[in-house]
Amino acid sequence: MGYEFTIKSAGIDEKVIRREKPADLVMALVEVKADAIVSRLKSTAQFDVEAHSTLLITADRVVVYEGIIREKPSSKEEAREFIKGYSGGQAEVVGSVLVTILKTGKRRGGWDRAEVYFYSIPDEVIDSLINKGFTLNVARGLMLEHPMTLPFVEAMVGKTDTVMGLPKALTEKCILEAL
């Protein structure tokens, strides 16, 4: 996208933020992340200098499987349950972006969705993914772009960057609306 950026962790407990609808949840998560980062930045002497030229972009995503919102699995057992469920099935990914202009506090955000369809994933592949630690730090418990996972993705309906990475078109739209 051509921007210089720094990655900062919001340091929040995402599990305490609950909403019934996936889009509402991901929007609430990016708001809380932005609030936490802005609060931390304001406590530094650099805030006034950085605020003049800085946009804060927060993003999040969840997966919906059989009507249930799934975030990062909390254990290897939960990761196994998630992946076995996707095997031969389908999941919906809902992602959000929020752009905050630090100087003014103005915010614009939005969300997008995509569907992912899977071929059957063999137990030995599931075991290997879990044992190598590729499952606990991502929504849905599965990195679609991982070489061990990619062969089992049958199709995606929607934008690839909604499922993995930062949704570029949505981010650009939010930036333009915020400016």
Q: Which has the closest alpha carbon to 83: 25, 75, 49?
A: 75
pLDDT digits (tens, 9 = 90+) for 15-25: 899 999 999 99
Render pLDDT for 135-162 as a digit per residue (tens, 0 to 9).
777 766 778 888 888 999 999 999 999 9
- Residue 67 gets the label, from left (phi > 0), alpha (psi -120 to 50) or beta, of left
Contact of 88 with 120, CB cutoff 8 Å: yes
Which pLDDT score is estimated for 70?
Answer: 86
Catalytic residues: 60
Q: What is the CATH number of domain 14-178?
A: 3.90.950.10
Instruction: Locate the domains of the chain by residue range.
Output: 14-178
The whole model's pTM is what? 0.87
